[in-house]
Structures are given as structure tokens and as C-alpha cells.
Amino acid sequence: MREPHSPSCSDARRRVRPAFARQLIALAVMAAAAAGATLGAAGAAHAAEKFRPVIEAPHFGDSLFHFYQEHYFSSVTSLMVSQHFERVTQHEDEAEVLRGGLLLSYGLHREAGEIFAQLIEKGASPAVQDRAWFYLAKIRYQRGFLVQADDALARIGKNLPPDLQEEHVLLHANVLMASADYARAARVLASLPKDHAAGPYVRYNLGVALIKTGEIEDGTAMLELVGRGRAVDEETRSLRDRANLALGFAALQQQRSDLAKTALERVRLSGMLANKALLGFGWADAEAKDPRRALVAWTELAGRDANDAAVLEAKLAVPYAYAELGSYGQALDGYTAALDTFDSETKALDESIAAIRSGAL
């Protein structure tokens, strides 16, 4: 049984998430504002509303207008056309930060990385370079280059805006957790206030880090705050599901099937983590020596799409439960069907690998 991983901040390949969009707007226009302009005390959530920058190039203002309207494709295409015809030279660096951020949000990591690297190489202003290092660190983390991500984070100075300073701490903690350095991650997360916009993510990651370092009680308390918290949108509902899933699997590791079921029951059956929750729920019943009840969850799960690892595990768990009940014939049939499924999945995987290596994909 695997515990769920900590959520990353970049699952918006199709569109820019609203919070990230507001952040990018504030960052893109920051240097275009009057000299010495700073974020107000309200913080990043109101950054776009607080800024009233002086736009010297009308075409840059046009791109920002589309951005404010959440027409992100129109924003990036108009911006790139304006850059090609040198219509936004007064905001050259800020335009590149905006373009790089948009490309990153669409999952174009390589292209975005090249933009941020060029901003650093050309000797842009310290504020722009710090933002470029931050986004390079995010790209490297998302691609699994943890050492390089840590190196980029270490190069960031003291010129990040307040909202990115908080996300910088979160990103640092995520890199440490991905490197299995949970003790340092817990210390980093503990330095953040729990009442800012990313508070639920801080509590979730801190809870996971504390459990990993053996501080079960404190970690469980943090995850309970998220798992029982109020969710106002899909993002916070998904995070709540993730927290309850982590609570459930942590309780299973402690052989506390009652606590595991309580937490897993709070995971939405229509959510992205429903399969893992059903798998864990079945294991909680099995831990309680009730294989008949475990079959209810596992049978439902085994009939779902076999591309999910939890479904594949359920196909093995179902015959295991039958064997525990003494139904050896059904158990044998179940193991035989599972073997066929695994053979089929292995063949499909081999075909995909061959296609990638031959250049067909």
C-alpha cells in the first residue's frame, strides 16, 4: 500500500488556475509600475487589484487586458506577435516573465525554462532574476531534477514579492520532501503562518512530514484540520480528499482500522482519489478480520479501469479475500483473471516503450 504523494502546485496544463493567473499579472506588471512600488498589506490575493502600473507600450497593455479577462491563449499569442514586431520593448523583461509563466502553465516546461534561463544570462534586474530562478526551480522540481531545483532555490535573493516568498518556502519544502528529508521540510513549513492563502497546503504538507518523521500525533492533528475543513471549490475539495486519504493510510500503517475507515469514508466517491480510498477501505476491513466486507469495496474497485494501479491491486486483493473465506475455487479463478490482466497491461506497456524508442510517438 502506498501513501499519496504531496500535491504539487502545477497541475494546470489546460488552463492557468485563477490564483496563479492573479500572481502572474502582478509579477508581470510589477517593474512597469512607478519606481519603488511595493505590494500592499493585503498580500498576493489582491495584488492585481492593488497595482495601477504605468503601461508605456499599448500592445503590452492589450496582452494584459486579455490576461485580466482570463483569455490566456489570446494573451500569450498577442504578446508573442507584439514581441516579434518589437512593440513591447519598454517592458521587455516583464513581457518575458509573463510569456514564460504562461508557457509553464500550459506544461511547456522546456520552452519556459529557456526563457527564464535567458533572463538570468542577460543580466536582468535582481527582481526579474529572482523570479526567473524561482520558476526554474519549479520547472526542475516538476521534472524530478531535485538537486538542480535545490540549487536554483539557493540562488534566489531577497527580491521576490510577498506572495512568491511564501510559495518559495512551500516549493523548498516540497523539494525536501521529494528528497525524503522530512525533518528539514517540517522545520521549513513550520516557519510559515497557517493563516495565509496557502494555509491548507502548509498544514497538509506539514502533517505528512511530521508523520514521516515519527511525530504521528502532531501530524495527524494537522491532517485532520485539512480533512475536516471547509471546502469552497474543487481545488480545496481535492486537497481535503488527499488529506483524508493520507490519514487513512497512516492509520492502516498503525493497524488502526477503525480510524482508517473513518478517514477514508470522507473521501468523495466521485473524486480523483476514490480508487485509492476504496482500496484502503478494503484493507481496513481485512485488517479487522472481516474479508467479506473487504470484498464489497474491492469488487467494486476491481471492475474499474485497469490503467489505475489501485484497480490492479484490487484484482489481486479480491481472490485474496476469497481465499480468506475458504472459497478456494473463486480465489483461483480470480488469480487467473488477474494474471491475464497483468499480462495484457505488460504487453501494452512493452508496445508503448517500443513505439517511443523507435520514434513512432
Please tell me the predicted confidence (pLDDT) of residue 331. Answer: 95
- From CA 167, how far away is CA 149, in angstroms rounded? 14
Contact 276, 245 (CB under 8 A): yes
User: How many CA atoms does the CB half-sphere of 295 hold within 13 Å?
Assistant: 14
Please tell me the predicted confidence (pLDDT) of residue 92. Answer: 82
Other Cβ atoms within 10 Å of 4 Cβ, number: 18
- pTM (2 d.p.): 0.66
Note the pLDDT tens digit of each residue in 27-51. Answer: 444 333 322 222 332 333 333 333 3
Please tell me the predicted confidence (pLDDT) of residue 198. Answer: 64
3-state secondary structure string, 57-122? CHHHHHHHHHHHCCCHHHHHHHHHHHHHCCCCHHHHHHHHHHHHHHHHHCCCHHHHHHHHHHHHHC
Q: Which segments of the chain does DSSP mark as H helices, in order?
A: 18-30, 47-50, 58-68, 72-84, 92-105, 109-121, 126-142, 146-154, 162-178, 182-190, 199-212, 216-227, 234-253, 257-264, 274-287, 291-302, 309-324, 328-358
- From CA 66, how far away is CA 78, in angstroms rounded? 9
DSSP structural state of residue 324: H
Band of residue 275 on the pLDDT scale cut at 50, 70, 90: very high
- From CA 283, how far away is CA 290, in angstroms rounded? 10
Which amino acid, residue 209?
A: A
Q: CB within 8 A of 41, min separation 6: which ones?
A: none
Lowest mean pLDDT, pick from 110-114, 151-155, 191-195, 254-258: 191-195
State the virtual CA torsion across 295, 298, 302, 306 in degrees, nearest 10: -160
Is the CA virtual torsion 261, 263, 264, 267 positive or negative? positive
Note the pLDDT tens digit of each residue in 303-344. Answer: 999 889 999 999 999 999 999 999 999 999 999 999 999 999
Q: CB within 8 A of 343, min separation 6: which ones?
A: none
Contact 324, 291 (CB under 8 A): yes
